[in-house]
Amino acid sequence: MPRLRADHGVPYFPAFLDLVRKRVLVVGGGHVATSKVRALVPCGAHITVVASEASAHIRDQAMAGRLEWQARGYQAADLAGAELVFAATDDCTLNAQVAQAARARNIAVLAVDDVPNCDFIAPAIVRRGDVVIAISTGGRSPAMARRVREHLDATLPRVWGDLLEVAASAREQLGQARTLIEPDQWQAALGGEVERLTENGQLEHATERLLSKLERTLFDSPKTGLVSLVGAGPGDPELLTLKALRRVQAADAVVHDRLVSAEVLAFASPHAERYDVGKSAHGGGSTQRDIERLLIDLACQGKRVVRLKGGDPFVFGRGGEEALALARAGIPFEVVPGVSAALAAPAAAGIPVTHRGLSSSVTIATGHDTSAHDWHALAQTSGTLVFMMAVEHLDTICAQLIGHGRPTSEPAAIVQWATTSKQHIVLASLGGIATAAREAGIEAPAVLVVGPTAALSGRLAPEGTHAEAVAV
């Protein structure tokens, strides 16, 4: 059903106002007025709060000389000399009265929760020093704006305010030479060692290193890019590490596997090139050599490349092969570890892979190449066994373990699409898990867990998880 124009928010023009030494009037002293004061104080404005009662924060700011509090009711004369007005009381009629009086004097005004009486809105703000992100919902939902702010505040690196100081200092010292440096070169130079030094509080050293890197770009021939071998985790996009998220967001090209979700890929810039190089269970898709050549080619174009793999790049992800290929070609690379499904899938199913009195070790094995294992050693280990990519050869895995001494009655579980909304758990004995998985329609991707702790899933699996126990 198409929405009416009235259903849309106001198409505000986003801007940042210079309020230094300008008079701002806040009418009201409660929670909402306090939130406006918190945002205004860092802006260097001359703030006047008019309210019979005021919050502890407003009183403290007045005592510190950061604002003037008039402990009385609003008067029309309070508008004199104001360049911005906030009507922030809990009285809608009074707020509207203040707004109308301000507009009559051509003073921009915001009346709380009253969009028709607003010339502007105060966005939700995330600050890292002079790095400021403002969030608007067009006046439709302050709660949604707060939710976005909280999400950004939790993910935006705390060091970015200091990193801005480093960048600004380097920019000033470069003088006019800075105009010869491309924006992409600035962005690349700010990462890596410069960011690490800044995180450690070594701002002068970080500035020197940044200048060194930038000055080199004025004389050096074009350099190759960086390839980041990044673990995308087991499926849930919220299980990406912060470093993985930053690499994906900054990538010029993302080379990803078949099982990397659309939600994870959505973190990449819309301008980033995307290459699906996923392999199917039956050998389709790109070859490993094709993938390695693609990574080298993209890096030679000077691009920031993210090789995005499900789980962890070095846990049955062939990340080691790609790292060796890059090293042989002289391509700079890094490894960003991810949360492996080998540990995440059991945890998501309520199965601790180690548990006092039940299992003191965990062995992770591939289910893809069953001829590569010492089955006697696997069967005789007393700890938990976790098989990745287990579906295709599930019958063989179970038969080999039982044939080499693992009890048929031992608890087992298979976890499909772990950590996602499609997660499905099947619990059975080792002797019956293959049949139970077939009857449940289990397909790849799935992880097999064998050992006493698998029995705990029935009690520890998260509420709402699709799990079925089969008595076989």
Q: Are 430 and 389 in contact (CB under 8 A)?
A: no
For domain 14-122, give the CATH number. Answer: 3.40.50.720
Superfamily of 342-469 according to CATH: Tetrapyrrole methylase, C-terminal domain (3.30.950.10)
Alpha carbons within 13 angstroms on the beta-carbon side of residue 317 total: 32
Which candidate, 22, 40, 28, places its Cα nearest to that of 82? 22
Q: Are 440 and 415 in contact (CB under 8 A)?
A: no
Q: Are 243 and 336 in contact (CB under 8 A)?
A: yes
Calculate the CA 296 to chain-centre distance.
27
Which candidate, 223, 220, 197, places its Cα nearest to that of 209? 197
- The three-state secondary structure class of 250 is helix
Q: Are 164 and 130 in contact (CB under 8 A)?
A: yes
C-alpha separations of 365 from 108, 258, 435 in Å: 66, 21, 21
Query: What does the pLDDT read at residue 464?
Result: 59
- The three-state secondary structure class of 70 is strand
Specify the domain boundaries for CATH 3.40.1010.10 within the chain. Answer: 227-339
The widest CA-to-CA distance across the chain, in whole angstroms, is 92
Query: What does the pLDDT read at residue 6?
Result: 44
Element (H, E) at 449: strand 446-450
Is 257 a known active-site residue? yes
Check: CATH 3.30.470.10 for 227-339?
Answer: no
Element (H, E) at 190: helix 183-190
Environment class of residue 158 by beta-carbon count within 10 Å: exposed (0-12), middle (13-18) or buried (19+)?
Answer: exposed
- Per the residue annotation, which of 22, 223, 243, 279 is the catalytic one? 279
Query: What does the pLDDT read at residue 14?
Result: 87
Alpha carbon distance 154, 99 (integer Å) = 35
- For 245-255, give one letter per residue: b (16+ CB within 10 A) or e: bbbbebbbbbb
Alpha carbon distance 110, 64 (integer Å) = 26
Query: What does the pLDDT read at residue 5?
Result: 43
Element (H, E) at 398: helix 394-403
Residues of the chain whose pLDDT is less than 70? 1-9, 220-223, 280-284, 463-472
Which candidate, 360, 344, 383, places its Cα nearest to that of 462? 344
Alpha carbon distance 382, 360 (integer Å) = 8
Specify the domain boundaries for CATH 3.40.50.720 within the chain. Answer: 14-122
- Per the residue annotation, which of 257, 303, 309, 312 is the catalytic one? 257
Is 279 a known active-site residue? yes
Alpha-carbon Rg for the chain, nearest whole angstrom, is: 30
This prediction's pTM: 0.67
Alpha carbon distance 415, 444 (integer Å) = 10
Alpha carbon distance 72, 192 (integer Å) = 55
Specify the domain boundaries for CATH 3.30.950.10 within the chain. Answer: 342-469
- The three-state secondary structure class of 435 is helix
**How do 124-128 and 131-135 pair as beta strands?**
antiparallel
Query: What does the pLDDT read at residue 92?
Result: 93
